[in-house]
Structure 1
């Protein structure tokens, strides 16, 4: 496997895995074990902020791995995954810059928290599709194309 394909796979796995670890494990544990809900909320907000930036970096790495310098798709999965990468990155941006500030300001908290949760699950699903497509075995035609040293 070419280094660019390995890096792309690593970024896709990190994206999906970190979303799951933070959103479905770390944050629920915070709310279960922190001395107060306010402290848990502050810590969760910081985790989600870090996750948003990590999501954007992983998305950029995946997008860069899908194209050659001329902009043509070099990976067979690229056409099917690019839309999911962009949608996942959009979810992260909307959550970070539109939803999170309203949650912090406690503006209609139930509505914005629900919307933020839906965006997070949508991003997790997008990252899952991207990982699924990136990790798919190469077709015989793709495997026959030399990609440089492994």
Structure 2
């Protein structure tokens, strides 16, 4: 899928994530995607820092966009594992950029690495595994 197709698909099928306009798909090509978020009140935990679930959601969305940029068949892919290491706190109102890259595209499992940045500071590092949709040849009865 091309960038415009990825944006249109995510906005239409995931309005709960992409409908508010707070998350922007900046790039999605060749297995690499970049999403941007300026955290608002709904993304913060006590102390005014960006919550872990916000960074996990952003990583998962960026990984999905990266997979979609390889093939539209990834629409039915699902997250089977997500491991995240939080390295620094993200501040309220400071833009966050999540860059995801498919490191192992597979027929059954794909592995994606994503990193969250605020400016040049690395906030989080994430690895994910996605189960790819079964084709007629891979369906096991």
> How does the TM-score come out when normalised to structure 2?
0.31
Q: Which has the larger radius of gyration?
A: 1
Compare relative contact order (CA 8 Å, sep 6+) and give the higher one, 1 or 2: 1
More helix by share: 1
More strand by share: 2
